[in-house]
Structure 1
Amino acid sequence: MKCPFCGAEDTAVADTRLNDEADVVRRRRKCNACDKRFTTYERAEIQLPQVVKKNGLRTEFSRAKLRASLELALRKRPVSIESVDAAVADIEERLLSAGEREVTTQQLGELVMRELKKLDKVAYIRFASVYRNFEDVDAFSRAIREVSPAAKKK
């Protein structure tokens, strides 16, 4: 590794540690030329699929956009931040395990709805009403019956 102070390539690792989540390696290095110390961080580079929008445009997957969508649907609902983090991680894991290079917004929306259905039924209905673009009250009622415990008993 090149020294950021003098540019020499002769450096030595003085200490290596993992962060608490064990997904980042922190290395303290010492330059053998100028004796200065510096820190480097290593993280696995994960390639999430491109998102194909309805109009055909392709864009980078954005964890922030995914999280914002979930948070919008869950606004003022009793769901913990940890649960939202877990849902985002689960969606990312599903995308990675699928091994596809592209994912449509429709597929992504279905994954979001699956997670919201587990987290909070009201948030699920909020998201579904926009995502599925309900045209009438009947479509809305069907979605409510889908998650309503009373409807499942009948």
Structure 2
Amino acid sequence: MICPYCRHEDIRVVDSRDSGDEIRRRRECSVCLRRFTTYERVQTRIFQVVKKDQRREELNTQKLLGSLFNACAKRPLPVKAVEKISKEIETEIMNSGRSEISSKIIGDMVMDHLRKLDRVAYIRYASVYRSFQDIETFKNEIDALLDPQPVDPEMENQLSFLPDTSLGKKGNRRRGRPRKESIPAS
């Protein structure tokens, strides 16, 4: 291992932690005394991404994670949630049984995950991924996002645990104990 700061090879491992499918190691250079983190994991097989122009390149999970972070920039989202999406997409690709996967399929996977996580991040990603030619197609994408999703037939008859805020006027709600009904004196 070479120090990324001073390029010397005299490195020692300060701390190692197993985090499921990878091992996190804190390392320290004995020359410049700077620390850095490395991650080790088993590479089961190499996946090729087929680009639009039919070029093939190795699946780069850092590139995937970078595009997710760009879409989620300045959004109130935890970093772990974005990293989780990247891991889930990577797992889906590994479990697909293919050695090659289209960049379009990966883009669609990212959009599906972002739609569930954050609408603004979804639109940001879609604007780059789909490269909208005009404002009308961009507007159509936003309209499709805002339309209520079709209800699953099994869920249609389910009762909601949340109160229906569309009933009644908000201003007339009384807080605290219910009023005692006044009984007219006879």
Answer with 1 or 2: which has the greater Rg.
2
Q: Which amino acid aligns with 1:84?
A: V
Q: Which amino acid aligns with 1:92?
A: E
- 2:128 equivalent among 123, 127, 130: 130
TM-aligned CA deviation for residue 126 of structure 1: 1.0
2:148 aligns with 152
Q: Which runs of 5+ in 2 are unaligned?
A: 1-15, 24-39, 150-186
2:57 aligns with 59
- 1:114 equivalent among 112, 115, 120: 112
TM-aligned CA deviation for residue 112 of structure 1: 1.0
Q: Which has the higher contact order (CA 8 A, sep 6+)?
A: 1
Q: Which runs of 5+ in 1 are unaligned?
A: 1-17, 26-41
2:76 aligns with 78
Q: CA RMSD in A?
A: 2.1
Calculate percent identity across the aligned residue pairs.
38
TM-score (norm 1): 0.69
Q: How many residues align?
A: 118
2:100 aligns with 102
Asked whether the equivalents of residues 73 and 126 of structure 1 are also in contact (C-alpha less than 8 Å), the reply is: yes
The verdict on how the C-alpha distance between 1:48 and 1:85 changes in structure 2, with shifts beyond 3 A counting, is farther
TM-aligned CA deviation for residue 19 of structure 1: 4.2
More helix by share: 1
Dislocated runs of 4+, deviation >4 Å? none
- Distance (whole Å) between structure 2 residues aligned to residue 99 and residue 91 of structure 1: 14
Deviations 1:59-96 (A, max 9, x none): 11011100000011111111111001100010001101
Of stretches 138-147 and 68-77 in structure 1, the one that deviates more from structure 2 is 138-147
